[in-house]
Amino acid sequence: MARKKAVTQASTEALEPRVYELGFLLSPAVREEDLDGNVDQIKSIITDLSGTIMTDARPEFIDLAYEMSRIINNKRVRFNQGYFGWIKFSITPDQIKAINAVLEKNILIIRSLMTATVAENTIISKKPLSKILKSSAREESVEEELLADVDAEEVDPGIAAIELQTPINEDAEDVAVEPLIETETE
């Protein structure tokens, strides 16, 4: 038994810190002025266990997609709204169970989720990447069509910039110019 304990101790000492993200939903009963204090409590749980806070977001009041319930003081309490926030931090994996146990006991936390993540900033824009790629591909194809038959020496950079912003219908331009050319030659 002593040997097994020694092996376990040695293996936990060698663990490297990993990056985690804790998403949490605070009760709507929390007053706006008490939000920062509640978030600081959650952060102190992490730092007391030798974790390092990397970044976080102040909780925002949101409507929930579905009703959640939690048993508080032997009563089932239902929630349709709450304050959603998150904290990204690094800590050794053996401390995760201890953090989750303390979070479970906090009656102001409706629900929490701990995920392993990367240290880099993973926040993206509100516009989905697929739409960004489609719109940039469309813009490039319009520019390529406009510049396909143009000789580089004939292009005035100022005029080209204006033309790229407002595409010209070449057929309509030819129709408008042809009567002028015919009158000059007669």
Structure confidence by residue, pLDDT tens digits, 27-47: 998 898 889 999 999 999 999
Is a pLDDT exceeding 50 seen at residue 6?
no
**First-last CA distance in the chain:** 112
Domain range spanning residue 160? 129-185
- Beta strand residue intervals within the chain, DSSP E: 18-26, 52-72, 75-91, 109-116
Structure confidence by residue, pLDDT tens digits, 122-151: 665 555 656 666 666 666 665 566 556 555
101 and 31 in a common domain: yes
Strand partners, 91: 18
Q: What is the rounded distance in angstroms from the CA atom of residue 20 to the CA atom of residue 30? A: 25
Q: How many domains does the chain have?
A: 2
162 and 106 in a common domain: no
β-bridge pairing 52-72 and 18-26: unpaired
Is 1 among the domain residues?
no
Q: What's the predicted TM-score (pTM) here? A: 0.57
Dihedral angle sign, alpha carbons of residues 34, 40, 45, 113: positive
155 and 86 in a common domain: no
